[in-house]
Amino acid sequence: NAGVTQTPKFRVLKTGQSMTLLCAQDMNHEYMYWYRQDPGMGLRLIHYSVGEGTTAKGEVPDGYNVSRLKKQNFLLGLESAAPSQTSVYFCASTPGAKLFFGSGTQLSVL
Amino acid sequence: AQSVTQPDIHITVSEGASLELRCNYSYGATPYLFWYVQSPGQGLQLLLKYFSGDTLVQGIKGFEAEFKRSQSSFNLRKPSVHWSDAAEYFCAVGSSGTYKYIFGTGTRLKVLA
């Protein structure tokens, strides 16, 4: 039972490049989330999904897009990366309350 | 709109001393409330949660928290801190209606030997 798996774990981008972060969960959870963690800012919700085919904006959605085509996967896309998007990104899922987190993706945008 | 405030950015306590970390929330209905802990370079681990019922909840590692509706607070406490408790602690709020979970900015705990 892998839980929540994030791919990749580390990535360095140049300004303007695009990339997709993949979150996969094998617990059949309905709800999935993308957060970013920055020093002194805590975890801020980027986007979330309450079921397959649905997505909703969180606190800091600008510059990101998401898709939940399959229940087990939640993709986070950066179309044109900016240095302000340098952060640690966490994916989480839940059946309804307790959040299960992935191990994080460290992204640097130069 | 949901919001969570953790007014203390850093707290330092001596090993064996008691601990209280503050959390205030803003939410229209009865919220789900959580405390998570993150050790350096690690993911987040759930310490305890409150949904309803008894306002004093017990968690793992000897932590407890008390929900006070009148003060919109959910403070985390531990009677005697251990050096291994040094970490960053996050309060979070959510609901069964929106399933939107918002975190506070965190409190970094340092424990002196």
Q: Is residue A96 predicted with pLDDT exceeding 90? A: no
Candidates A42, A56, A92; nearest CB to B105: A42
Return the closest-CA partner of residue B23 out of B70, B90, B81. B90
pLDDT of residue B27: 82
**For residues B75-108, b (16+ Cβ closer than 10 Å) or e, as one string?**
bbebeebeeebbbbbbbbbbbeeebbbbbbbbbb
Tokens of residue A88, six digits: 């640690």
**pLDDT for residue A25 is more than 70:** yes
Rounded mean pLDDT of A16-20?
96
pLDDT confidence of residue B91: 97
Instruction: Report d(CA B11, CA A55) in Å as an integer.
Output: 37
Q: Measuring CA to CA, how many Å separate B15 from each of A45, B19, B59, B78? A: 34, 10, 20, 11
How big is the A-B interface in CB pairs under 8 Å?
Answer: 53
pLDDT beneath 70, residues of chain B = none
Is the CB of B31 inside 8 Å of chain A's CB atoms? no
Amino acid B88: pLDDT:
96
- Mutate: best of B8, B44, B49, partner A, most A CBs <10 A: B44
Report pLDDT for A1: 63
Q: What is the pLDDT of residue A76?
A: 98
